[in-house]
Every structure is written in structure tokens, then in C-alpha cells.
């Protein structure tokens, strides 16, 4: 069993002070997940707090099976959906380009690739929310397919198909945007 699972079992059983350790371990990944979905730093911070409040509120529903991470992301999905229902709003995926460049080691390389990053951000923004979400879970949060399946309520095979289709859709949108950009550059 993972440390997170053991901590959540303790929280479920009344040791609520241990929720702080889970918060420290997961709040940054959860924040980035929401930031890529909402495009708003403030909304993302609020949603992270809401998720941990819900974890505390619904701690008694945590089971001894599955993973804590999958359970947490299931709560996160419902929290985001409830937020948009309450605010009659839609996610716009308008985060700053630097949120997609955190893994680029060389600052010079980051500058050279900024156009590509901006195109990738635009292509991600065009994706339907369900496709964007599966890419974020698999590629940005590095969640195993099994956990993504738990969150989405489907099999590992279905997750693989969804990721494949989402990545194909993303590539098509990216190359369409890149083609439009090169066409505009030739016209000028």
C-alpha cells in the first residue's frame, strides 16, 4: 500500500491532522491540473482548497481499494464541474505559456520554442474538455492508465483509446494552426 493510501486511511479513521501531509504532497499537481483546465490562477487555488475540504467532508467514503490519487482526481473533476455549474461559466484554457515550459531545461531553447508552445496552447484550448482532461492527466500529471481509468470510470483499454484519439486530435489542431501561421508569414 502507498503512503498516501495509508495516510488517507488514517484521515478516514479520525486522524484528520494527517490531511495536511496529503495536501503538501498533492496540492501543486492539483493546482496545475486546474490551471490547465481553467486558465485562472485564483480559480485554481480556490478549487484546490475545495477539493481538500471535500476530502475531509467525504473521508468516510474512502475505500481500502484503488488509489488515493484516483479518488482525489475524481473529487477534483466533480469540484470543477460543480464550480462551472454554479458560476455558469466554461473553462477557457488561457494559462500563461510558461506553464507549459516547466520541463524545458535551457532558457535559450525555451525562447526558440515559444512559438511552438503558443501554438500548442492554442491547440489545447480548441480541444473538447474531455480530450484536454485526459491529456492533462496522462501527459502533464503522469497518472498511470489504471488510475485514469478509475477517475473516468472505464477500462485501461478505453483510456488508451481516449488518449490516442485526444493526442491525434491535438496533433491535427496543432499542425493546422502551424500551417495557418506559416501561410500568414508567407503572405507578409
Q: What is the pLDDT of residues 4-61, one digit of tens each?
A: 999 999 999 999 999 999 999 999 999 998 988 888 899 999 999 999 999 999 999 9
What CATH architecture applies to the domain 1-92?
A: Orthogonal Bundle (1.10)
Contacts of residue 45, Cβ cutoff 8 Å, sequence gap at least 6: 31
pLDDT at 183: 46
Q: What residue spans define the domains of the chain?
A: 1-92, 104-188
pTM listed for this prediction: 0.71
What CATH architecture applies to the domain 104-188?
A: Orthogonal Bundle (1.10)
pLDDT at 135 over 50: yes
Terminal-residue alpha carbon distance, the chain? 60
Over residues 86-103, mean pLDDT: 50
Amino acid at each position: 500500500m502507498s503512503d498516501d493510501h495509508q495516510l488517507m486511511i488514517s484521515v478516514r479513521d479520525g486522524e484528520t491532522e494527517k490531511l495536511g501531509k496529503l495536501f503538501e504532497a498533492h496540492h501543486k499537481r492539483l493546482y496545475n491540473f486546474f490551471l490547465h483546465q481553467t486558465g485562472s490562477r485564483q480559480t485554481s487555488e480556490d478549487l484546490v482548497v475545495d477539493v481538500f475540504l471535500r476530502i475531509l467532508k467525504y473521508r468516510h467514503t474512502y475505500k481500502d481499494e484503488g488509489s488515493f490519487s484516483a479518488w482525489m482526481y475524481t473529487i477534483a473533476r466533480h469540484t470543477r464541474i460543480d464550480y462551472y455549474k454554479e458560476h455558469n461559466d466554461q473553462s477557457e484554457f488561457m494559462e500563461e505559456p510558461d506553464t507549459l515550459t516547466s520541463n524545458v531545461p535551457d532558457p535559450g531553447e525555451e525562447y526558440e520554442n515559444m512559438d511552438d508552445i503558443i501554438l500548442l496552447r492554442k491547440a489545447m484550448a480548441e480541444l473538447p474538455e474531455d480530450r484536454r482532461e485526459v491529456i492533462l492527466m496522462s501527459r502533464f500529471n503522469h497518472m498511470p492508465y489504471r488510475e485514469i481509468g478509475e477517475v473516468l470510470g472505464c477500462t485501461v483499454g478505453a483510456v488508451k483509446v481516449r488518449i490516442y484519439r485526444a493526442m491525434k486530435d491535438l496533433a491535427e489542431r496543432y499542425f493546422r494552426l502551424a500551417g495557418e501561421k506559416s501561410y500568414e508569414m508567407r503572405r507578409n
